[in-house]
């Protein structure tokens, strides 16, 4: 049996993660295993586990068939972790998701420091989600603190959490494109360019952006400054003070929600009540046929159909290109303690690609977990008309997912399509119901079809043809 380490698990040479089916295992070198054995005896760590703040880590017997194979690579021990239902990345999260991930990271470092432990880094890629519950996944990051040690993850925390959050809260600049293009985050030197005039005096900007940017600029010119910085001793109280100050700062960061068409979709959609109820009944009929392991709701708006799907699916990934619609869904799910829906912010015509080293360190959205069902309601006209992507291209992509599909086709006569066309100089000649049916039938079995809104919209339930 040949077992390959996860393509994103190479930054820490002391351990590597392996995915085998639904099992997630981690090979540990002697030092990492010894550190874990000490950590496992600590009460604060057991509290982390009890509260689901950190993923479980269970030592495996060498007789375990997977552990046996992993140990052949020279590891001293093997841990097994719970499987995260769907991996996501910070550039796909909303403001409140990144904020809650930051607060979890700060809570972990604060509690660890109080017991003379620390986190050796502070990357946001060490946080994943069980629905709307953030969970820390990198157990070997927890190490015993050396006396006088600075918080080595501070700069990384600022670049991947604090600066993106302040950009959105203070300037309205969306952090997601910046994090997607710069996987290490936004440096203080770069961030300083976004904070001009009075923005420089907003809480935390001078301390965590302008001053560090000035110091970093001087370090580039004078390496002796860097050496002097490293020699500074920090007491535990000093580091705790920094962490607790960041907690207060992050906790108080807020954004103003905009009332967009999509963030208010549950109130502003163009359906009469009876037609919308019929749409919900059609979707419920087919999502309830059997339990799906993973359902994608693409173009989810505020999550009406994600919630219907969650009643009949182990897990639902709800994706929309409107930040505030996804933010609203996240906040609603958080209030309701919903653990089966993961909201993500993404342009569906420009899905997250494979990124990082060799394009594999961070996986493409459609190369993480295969869905059992994809729901695309009132989406295709945006893809085809707004983004100029041919119907055939979109259906090809859906067919490559090799799963069932519930899709809504909105005809050119519908008022929403008319609005889109009013902003276009030309017309998409292939955007017709007949074209859609022909293209869909070449790739799928059309099991059922239902007209809505005087046949201006049509719902389809499709299964892959073979």
> Could you report the per-residue pLDDT of 412-447, keeping only the tens digit for each?
999 888 888 887 766 677 899 999 999 999 999 999
Triad 410, 366, 25: Cα angle to 5° = 150
Average pLDDT value for residue range 131-140: 97
Collect all residues with Cβ–Cβ distance below 8 Å to 98 and sequence separation of at least 6.
90, 124, 161, 164, 165, 175
What letter would DSSP give residue 6?
P
More confident residue, 263 or 207: 207
Q: Is the pLDDT of residue 102 over 70?
A: yes
101 closest CA partner among 169, 35, 53, 31: 53
Which residue has 């001793």 as its token pair? 233
Summarize pLDDT for 169-188 with one digit per residue, the tens.
Answer: 999 999 999 999 999 999 99
pLDDT in tens, 269-279: 556 888 899 99
CB neighbours of 391 closer than 8 A, spacing ≥ 6?
380, 384, 430, 431, 435, 436, 439
The tokens describing 170, both together, are 């203070």
Q: Which two tokens stand for residue 316?
A: 């639902």
Alpha-carbon distance of 304 to 378, in angstroms, equals 13
Termini Cα distance of the chain = 31
- Say which residue, 420 or 382, is predicted with more confidence: 382
Residue 352 predicted with pLDDT over 90: yes
SS3 129: strand
Lowest mean pLDDT among 3-7, 295-299, 397-401: 3-7
DSSP 363: -
Can you give the pLDDT at residue 265?
Answer: 56
Residue 95 has pLDDT above 60, yes or no: yes
**DSSP letters along 417-450, please?**
HHHHHHT-SS--TT-SHHHHHHHHHHHEEEEEEE
pTM, to two decimals: 0.94
Q: What are the beta bridge partners of residue 111?
A: none
Question: Coil, strand or helix: which one is 59?
Answer: strand
Exposure class string for 304-319: b at 16+ Cβ within 10 A, else e: bbbbbbbebbebbbbb
Sign of the C-alpha dihedral, residues 128, 130, 133, 138? negative
410: three-class secondary structure by DSSP: strand
- Between the alpha carbon of residue 229 and those of residues 218, 233, 285, the distances in Å are 12, 9, 64
Under 8 Å between Cβ of 98 and 164: yes
Q: Is there a contact between 244 and 236 (Cβ–Cβ < 8 Å)?
A: no
* Contact assessment for residue 178 and residue 160, using Cβ atoms and an 8 Å cutoff: no
Rounded CA-CA distance 248/459 in Å is 48
Helical spans, DSSP H, in 234-388 = 236-252, 265-268, 273-287, 304-310, 323-335, 380-381
Q: Which helix (H) or strand (E) holds 101?
A: helix 95-113
Structure-block tokens of residue 251: 């906790």
Asked if pLDDT for residue 229 goes beyond 70, the answer is no
**Domains of the chain, with CATH numbers?**
15-81 (no CATH), 90-252 (no CATH), 265-464 (3.40.50.150)
For every residue of 73-85, DSSP letters joined together read: TT-SEEEEEPPPS
Q: Are the C-beta atoms of 228 and 289 separated by less than 8 Å?
A: no
Residue 149 tokens, joined:
């040690």
pLDDT computed for residue 422 by the predictor: 80
Residue with tokens 């952006």: 209
Question: Closest Cα partner for 118 from 243, 29, 17?
Answer: 243
Contact 1, 109 (CB under 8 A): no
Task: Specify whether the CB–CB gap between 17 and 26 falls below 8 A.
Answer: yes
Q: Considering only CA atoms, give the Rg of the chain.
A: 25
Give the helix/strand (H/E) hosting 375: strand 373-376
Report CA torsion sign: 150, 99, 340, 283.
negative
């Amino acid at each position: 049996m040949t077992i390959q380490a996860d393509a994103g698990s190479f930054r820490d040479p002391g351990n590597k993660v392996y995915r085998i089916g639904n099992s997630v295992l981690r090979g540990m070198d002697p030092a990492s295993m010894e550190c874990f054995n000490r950590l496992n005896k600590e009460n604060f760590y057991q509290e982390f586990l009890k509260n689901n703040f950190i993923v479980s880590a269970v030592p495996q017997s060498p007789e375990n068939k997977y552990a046996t194979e992993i140990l052949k690579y020279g590891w001293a021990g093997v841990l097994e972790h719970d499987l995260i239902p769907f991996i996501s990345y910070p550039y796909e999260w909303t403001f409140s998701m990144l904020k809650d991930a930051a607060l979890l990271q700060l809570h972990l470092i604060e509690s660890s420091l109080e017991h003379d432990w620390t986190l050796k880094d502070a990357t946001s890629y060490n946080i994943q989600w069980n629905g709307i519950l953030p969970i820390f996944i990198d157990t070997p990051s927890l190490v015993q603190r050396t006396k006088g040690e600075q918080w080595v993850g501070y700069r990384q925390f600022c670049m991947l959490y604090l600066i993106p959050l302040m950009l959105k809260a203070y300037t309205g600049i969306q952090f997601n494109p910046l994090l997607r293009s710069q996987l290490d985050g936004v440096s203080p030197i770069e961030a300083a360019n976004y904070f001009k005039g009075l923005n420089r005096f907003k809480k935390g900007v001078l301390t965590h952006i302008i001053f560090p940017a000035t110091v970093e600029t001087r370090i580039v010119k004078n390496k002796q400054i860097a050496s002097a910085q490293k020699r500074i001793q920090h007491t535990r109280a000093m580091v705790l003070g920094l962490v607790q100050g960041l907690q207060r700062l992050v906790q108080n960061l807020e954004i103003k929600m905009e009332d967009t068409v999509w963030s208010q979709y549950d109130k502003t959609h163009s359906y009469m009540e009876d037609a919308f109820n019929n749409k919900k009944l059609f979707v419920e009929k087919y999502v309830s046929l059997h339990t799906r392991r993973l359902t994608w709701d693409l173009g989810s708006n505020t999550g009406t159909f994600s919630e219907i799907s969650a009643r009949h699916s182990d897990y639902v990934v709800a994706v929309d290109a409107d930040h505030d619609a996804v933010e609203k869904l996240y906040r609603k799910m958080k209030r309701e303690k919903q653990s089966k829906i993961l909201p993500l912010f993404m342009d569906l015509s420009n899905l997250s690609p494979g990124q990082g080293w060799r394009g594999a360190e961070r996986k493409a959205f459609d190369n993480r977990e295969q869905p059992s069902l994809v729901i695309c309601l009132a989406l295709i006209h945006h893809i085809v008309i707004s983004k100029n992507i041919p119907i055939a291209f979109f259906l090809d992509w859906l067919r490559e997912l090799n799963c069932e599909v519930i899709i809504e086709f909105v005809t050119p006569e519908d008022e929403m399509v008319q609005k889109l066309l009013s902003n276009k100089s030309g017309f998409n000649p292939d955007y017709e119901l007949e074209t859609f049916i022909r293209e869909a039938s070449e790739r799928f079995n059309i099991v059922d079809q239902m007209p809505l809104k005087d046949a201006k919209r049509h719902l389809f339930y499709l299964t892959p043809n073979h």
